[in-house]
């Protein structure tokens, strides 16, 4: 059986043809063009879905998307301004009626977790927390092999844990949230402020690897902030694995070693003894795989 999977983000929409065994047999992407509005975005997904249905005889459509998702109904219960008009969108119903195939929808960070549980670095792990570092910080929680959605579909919002009460203003309306200090964008901002010029993150991490003192100091402060957030997650949930996702996870063991080292001084011994910090192994394919995993579990 083949499923057409989509990963809807604010910049691009990725698609893949995925087998029920978790193999991606074809994939591609097209721009989200969010300036055209959410209705047009959904029409573009419908158009591509019809094309893929024709070409690959897929049995269904699995969607990973930005925004808080009621995954029972396949509706967006809340979305930020990144995709104007997306809040309230009945994604599953609209695509189902236009394409004539069953559609399942899940939040993108939850899909990262499900993809890693199915085919990545959380395979066989009963209790883990998945963190994605990007513009903000996303979180998804799997306890006893079950994804935890929360009472209104927004459990795991780790980025809005307070780090410095009264600190930097956050997109959520509060001040001092973790993601203002420990997201990938926050690191980029700190590098620019401290160095007085823009440095791309890959370039910055090269400097850290080469031991450039100023860069190492900025990196260590950033890791310390991130680890403060993870410390609370570990004490609260006692996971055996923390999965680190987002583009920055390309830094591999440089990142996981630094986070582990920082956590070793923050987490109580019994919690720490069970804990492993791992990179998301499926990279930007995890969301497509997770969407299909969710589809197969909810047929
Ligand atoms: Zn916030």
Domain CATH number, residue 88: 3.30.420.40
Among 61, 59, 56, CA closest to 74: 61
Question: Are residue 130 and residue 253 in the same domain, yes or no?
Answer: yes
Residue 198 lies in a domain: yes
Looking at the domain assignment, is residue 61 inside a domain? yes
The reply to whether 18 falls in a domain is yes
Residues 107 and 147 in one domain: no
pLDDT at 236: 97
Q: How far is the CA of 140 from the centre of ligand 1 (A)?
A: 16
Q: Is residue 117 part of a domain?
A: no
pLDDT, one tens digit per residue, over 245-283 is: 998 999 999 999 999 999 999 999 999 999 999 999 998
CA of 157 to the centre of ligand 1 (A): 9
Q: What is the pLDDT of residue 75?
A: 98
119 located within any domain: no
Indicate the range of 38-47, 76-85, 190-199 predicted with least confidence. 76-85
Distance 183 CA to ligand 1 centre (A): 12
Task: Give the least confident one: 80-89, 105-114, 137-146, 178-187.
Answer: 80-89
Co-location of 84 and 156 in the same domain: no
| Predicted pLDDT of residue 284 | 84
CA of 67 to the centre of ligand 1 (A): 15
Task: Please name which of 106, 154, 152 lies closest in space to residue 286, comparing C-alpha atoms.
Answer: 106
Do 76 and 69 form a contact (C-beta atoms < 8 A)? yes
7 assigned to some structural domain: yes
Number of folded domains in the chain? 2
pLDDT above 90 for 56: yes
Cα 160 to middle of ligand 1, angstroms? 4
Ligand 1 centroid to residue 295 C-alpha, Å: 30
Residue 79 falls within a domain, yes or no? yes
pLDDT at 81 over 80: no
User: What gap in Å lies between CA 8 and CA 74, rounded to an integer?
Assistant: 13
What residue numbers bound the domain in which 88 lies? Answer: 2-111+285-297
- Residue 179 CA to ligand 1 center (angstroms) comes to 7
On whether both 128 and 102 belong to a single domain, the answer is: no
If asked whether residues 177 and 249 sit together in one domain, one would say: yes
Burial 136-150 (b: 16+ CB within 10 A, else e): bbbbbbbeeeebebe
Q: What is the rounded distance in angstroms from the CA atom of residue 40 to the CA atom of residue 37?
A: 6
- What share of the chain has pLDDT > 90, as a percent? 96
Indicate whether 263 and 290 sit together in one domain: no
Ligand 1 centroid to 163 CA: how many Å? 10
Nearest to 279 by CA among 130, 157, 138: 130
Q: Residue 234 Cα, ligand 1 centroid: separation in angstroms? A: 20
Mean pLDDT of the 155-168 span? 97
Task: Please give the pLDDT value at position 177.
Answer: 97
Q: What is the pLDDT of residue 289?
A: 98
The label of the residue with tokens 């890959």 reads 202
Give a yes or no: residue 291 inside a domain: yes
Compute the distance from residue 156 Cα to the ligand 1 centre, in Å: 13
Q: How far is the CA of 132 from the centre of ligand 1 (A)?
A: 15
Q: Does one domain contain both 289 and 276?
A: no
How much distance in Å is there from the Cα of 223 to the middle of ligand 1?
A: 19
**Alpha helices, DSSP H, located in the chain:** 38-56, 91-99, 108-119, 179-182, 184-195, 201-209, 213-237, 253-264, 269-273, 286-297
SS3 (DSSP) at 110: helix
Distance 285 CA to ligand 1 centre (A): 27
């Amino acid at each position: 059986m083949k499923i057409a999977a989509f990963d809807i983000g604010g910049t691009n929409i990725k698609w893949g043809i995925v087998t029920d065994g978790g193999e991606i047999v074809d994939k591609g992407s097209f721009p989200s063009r969010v300036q055209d509005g959410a209705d047009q975005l959904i029409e573009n997904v419908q158009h591509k879905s019809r094309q893929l249905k024709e070409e690959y005889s897929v049995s269904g459509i699995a969607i990973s998307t930005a925004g808080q998702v009621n995954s029972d109904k396949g509706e967006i219960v809340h979305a930020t301004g990144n995709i104007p008009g997306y809040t309230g969108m009945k994604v599953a119903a609209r695509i189902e009626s236009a394409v004539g195939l069953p559609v399942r929808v899940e939040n993108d960070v939850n899909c990262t977790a499900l993809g890693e549980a199915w085919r990545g670095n959380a395979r066989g792990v009963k209790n883990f927390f998945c963190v994605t570092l990007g513009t903000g910080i996303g979180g998804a929680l799997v306890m006893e092999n079950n994804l935890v959605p929360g009472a209104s579909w927004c459990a795991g919002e780790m980025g809005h844990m307070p780090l410095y009460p009264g600190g930097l203003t956050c997109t959520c309306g509060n001040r001092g949230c973790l993601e203002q200090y420990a997201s990938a964008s926050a690191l980029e901002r700190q590098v620019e402020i401290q160095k007085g010029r823009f440095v791309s993150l890959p370039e910055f991490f090269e400097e850290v690897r080469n031991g450039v003192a100023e860069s190492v100091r900025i990196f260590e402060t950033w890791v310390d902030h991130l680890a403060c957030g993870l410390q609370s997650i570990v004490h609260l949930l006692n996971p055996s694995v923390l999965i680190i996702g987002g583009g920055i996870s390309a830094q591999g063991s440089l990142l996981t070693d630094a986070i582990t080292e920082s956590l070793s001084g923050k987490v109580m011994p019994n919690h720490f003894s069970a804990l492993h910090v791992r990179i998301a192994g499926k990279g930007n394919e995890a969301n497509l795989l997770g969407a299909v995993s969710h589809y197969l579990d909810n047929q």
